[in-house]
């Protein structure tokens, strides 16, 4: 019922805290410890050139699709969706959470390589309202009630003289315990 949902929400309000989240798009040019100094310099020039294109008005998604070497985000115009702190490299998180919505960051380096990003949306930390949590609470309470009803029904069936429950002991072949030990 609505009352049960509201009561559950009030009793468990701390469970509905939500962390700050940011949505960003990025352009990445991959660099790692095996990249030669000459290649690294060329890749730095390439990311700077891509950054200049965006800063001078070219569509971020277009540049990301053409230039970014991130196989996940490039086909989506660089979009990496919403994330909270700790889901990415610390350098990426620091830039993403300090760049205002709608702004493009400077080029920065992470273990992945050279990149820059554009923050497209953000949600501050807060608490989900009872309306936002209603569906999840309703499902949880419904499942909890169903499990309790199943348990009562099972006990009733087992208590009924017409239903007989047989526990069968199965002996394992000698080789099976050693096989099972190898699986663990």
Residue with tokens 């309000």, as numbered in its chain: 13
pTM assigned to the model: 0.65
**pLDDT at residue 127, rounded to an integer:** 86
- Nearest-angstrom CA–CA distance, 73 and 80: 6
Instruction: Point out the least confidently predicted range of 8-12, 70-74, 104-108.
Output: 8-12
Contacts of 81 (CB under 8 A, 6+ apart): 23
**pLDDT at residue 182, rounded to an integer:** 46
- Nearest-angstrom CA–CA distance, 81 and 164: 55
* pLDDT grade for 17, boundaries at 50, 70 and 90: confident
Other CB atoms within 10 Å distance of the CB of residue 134: 15
* pLDDT grade for 184, boundaries at 50, 70 and 90: very low
What pLDDT, in 10s, does the model give residues 26-57?
A: 999 999 999 999 999 999 999 999 999 999 99
Contact 24, 120 (CB under 8 A): yes
What pLDDT, in 10s, does the model give residues 89-136?
A: 999 999 999 999 999 999 999 999 999 999 999 999 888 888 888 888
Give how far Cα 174 sits from Cα of 6, 86, 171, 183, Å: 56, 49, 9, 16
> 119, exposed or middle or buried, with CB in 10 Å at 0-12, 13-18, 19+?
buried
Q: What is the CA radius of gyration of the chain?
A: 28
- Nearest-angstrom CA–CA distance, 25 and 94: 15
Reply yes or no on whether the pLDDT at 76 is more than 60: yes
What pLDDT, in 10s, does the model give residues 136-177?
A: 889 899 999 999 898 888 888 777 766 666 667 766 665 544
Q: Which residues pair with 82 in a beta bridge?
A: 23
Query: Over the range 30-55, which residues count as b (16 or more CB within 10 Å of their CB) and which as e?
Result: ebeeeeeeeebeebbeebeebbebbe
**pLDDT at residue 174, rounded to an integer:** 58
Both structure tokens of 113: 């390589």
């Amino acid at each position: 019922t609505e009352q049960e949902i509201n009561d559950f929400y009030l009793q468990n309000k701390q469970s509905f805290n939500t962390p700050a989240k940011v949505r960003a798009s990025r352009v990445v040019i991959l660099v790692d410890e095996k990249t030669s100094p000459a290649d690294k310099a060329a890749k730095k020039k390439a990311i700077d050139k891509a950054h200049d294109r965006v800063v001078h008005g070219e569509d971020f998604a277009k540049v990301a699709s053409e230039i970014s070497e991130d196989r996940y985000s490039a086909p989506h115009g660089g979009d990496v969706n919403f994330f909270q702190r700790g889901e990415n490299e610390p350098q990426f998180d620091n830039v993403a959470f300090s760049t205002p919505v709608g702004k493009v960051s400077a080029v920065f380096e992470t273990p992945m390589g050279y990149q820059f990003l554009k923050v497209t949306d953000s949600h501050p930390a807060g608490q989900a309202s009872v309306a936002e949590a209603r569906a999840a609470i309703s499902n949880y309470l419904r499942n909890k009630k169903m499990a309790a009803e199943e348990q009562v029904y099972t006990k009733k069936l087992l208590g009924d003289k017409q239903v007989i429950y047989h526990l069968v002991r199965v002996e394992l072949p000698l080789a099976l315990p050693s096989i099972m030990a190898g699986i663990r």
